[in-house]
Amino acid sequence: MAQKKQTIEYRLLVQPAYDETLQKQGVLFLLETAKQFTNFSYVIDVKDDVEGKNILWTLRGLRAPSMNMPATGTAQFHKIYFDLPMTVHFTLVKKGKVKAETEFSFLKTAFKSSKATSTFLKIYTDQQEFQTKRINDVVMAEAKPDIHREPPTTKKLIPQKTKR
């Protein structure tokens, strides 16, 4: 029996980041959906827990952002973590307790990731690669037909022959 190929549902970018306000170096975790939305931009609702060397993200769904401006694109969630250890165990849990897990090593010259244990998550540690491979990873939104209702039809009166 052939196994069904699981498609990428989420993309994760992990890279160094600098917070101008705090004037502090950190690590950016940016999660986005592979699905693109046509009418609204959404935010991924994530509950995040950090305990020692473990980062756990639990997906709770999508929500509309506080500004309801129509936009197209993927849904996203991002967070910058500060003072992380050199190695971190990252777990992403989606509905049905399905998990993707990986280890990140934060080196001075680069960030490295072990292979994720699930195929629904694709991980990047380079922003340029994250941007250029988006076209291959993202499921483009389907163009929906513009449906117009026909005006109600009226019965045509058939002229009756008059008697002479």
Tokens 């010259």 belong to: 109
What is the reported pTM? 0.79
**91 CB neighbour count, 10 Å cutoff:** 15
Q: What is the rounded average pLDDT of the residues 121-126? A: 94
Answer whether 116's CB lies under 8 Å from 101's CB. Answer: yes
Q: What is the rounded average pLDDT of the residues 43-56? A: 96
pLDDT at 24 over 90: yes
Alpha helices in the chain (DSSP H): 127-132, 134-137
- The domain spans of the chain are 10-126
